[in-house]
Amino acid sequence: MGDSPIDVMWLAANAPAFALVAARAAGVCFTAPVLAAPGLDWRFRTVMALALGAWTAPLAAGAIGAPTSRFGLGWLVANEAVVGGLMGLSASLVVAAARQAGELVASQAGLATSSLFDPETGEESTALGHLYGLVALAAFLALDGPLAIVDGLLRSFEAFPAGRLALERDSAEALFAQTADALKLALRAAAPPAVALATAGVALGWLGRLAPSVPLMTLSLPIRAALGVVLVMASLAGLAACLDGAWAAWAAGGY
């Protein structure tokens, strides 16, 4: 290997190995947070995947195993793309959990009807869900998330060498475990304002029964909406800390 991180001679002599590494990098570039944003053209992601593969392949040369599939190089390239996609999705689960937390808070605050079209998912989401997702992306960038993804891509070749089928039972169990962690993160992020809003709803209901002449049921929606906005603003610091911990746990071994 030469002095440059991108060894052109190595790439020319090991084109199949480069194809495998580039396929895994492409899977990451098309599914990882920020890189999978709808505003980025697919050609930009393709060029980034090729550049990342060219930089990564010589560094991961010692961890690239000999092809073990009887279906040929095309099958292995598809397998590497799936492995990279699962790596990117493991990081995207944190953003999805944050958005789900925002949806839970919005439903408790009575703001679920004010939904916005999300071009990334193709579905409608509330303003709070979009806000929580942006906070998760901001925490991801603040903690050097893209560098952590590149580091995780390099280390993934030690756990799953390129050129070998890696979609086994352990991989499926790890993916389901990360999905469960994302659900727990959504509950932790939504719990403070959601529980307070649920308690406020119960209190308003009891006051309405004790004082039937007061139109609390009519005023409950604007009261809960205003209270929800106040609680969300007060809990943003705690939300950022919760998401920082989630990203740190992901960077420590979530991929």
Per-residue pLDDT tens digits of the chain, which is 255 residues long = 444 455 556 555 567 777 888 888 898 988 888 877 766 777 888 888 888 887 877 776 665 655 555 556 777 888 888 888 888 888 899 999 999 999 889 888 877 776 666 665 566 778 888 889 899 999 999 888 888 888 888 888 877 777 666 566 666 777 788 888 888 999 999 988 988 888 887 887 777 777 676 666 666 777 788 888 888 888 888 899 999 988 888 887 655
What is the C-alpha to C-alpha distance for residues 241 and 252, in angstroms, rounded to an integer? 16
* pLDDT given at position 1: 42
170 Cβ contact partners less than 8 Å away, ≥ 6 residues apart? none
Q: How many CA atoms lie within 13 A of 72 on its CB side?
A: 1
Model pLDDT, residue 7? 58
Amino acid 49: pLDDT = 87
What confidence score (pLDDT) does residue 6 get?
54
What per-residue confidence (pLDDT) applies to 101?
Answer: 92
Full-model pTM: 0.79
User: Residue 126: what are its φ and ψ, rounded to 5°?
Assistant: -80, 165
Q: Which pLDDT does position 118 carry in this prediction?
A: 64
- Which own/partner pairs from 144-150 qualify as long-range (CB within 8 Å, at least 24 positions apart)? 145/33, 145/34, 145/91, 145/247, 145/251, 146/34, 146/35, 148/247, 148/250, 148/251, 149/28, 149/32, 149/87, 149/88, 149/91, 149/255, 150/52, 150/56
The backbone torsions φ and ψ at residue 116, rounded to the nearest 5 degrees and listed phi first, read -125, 150
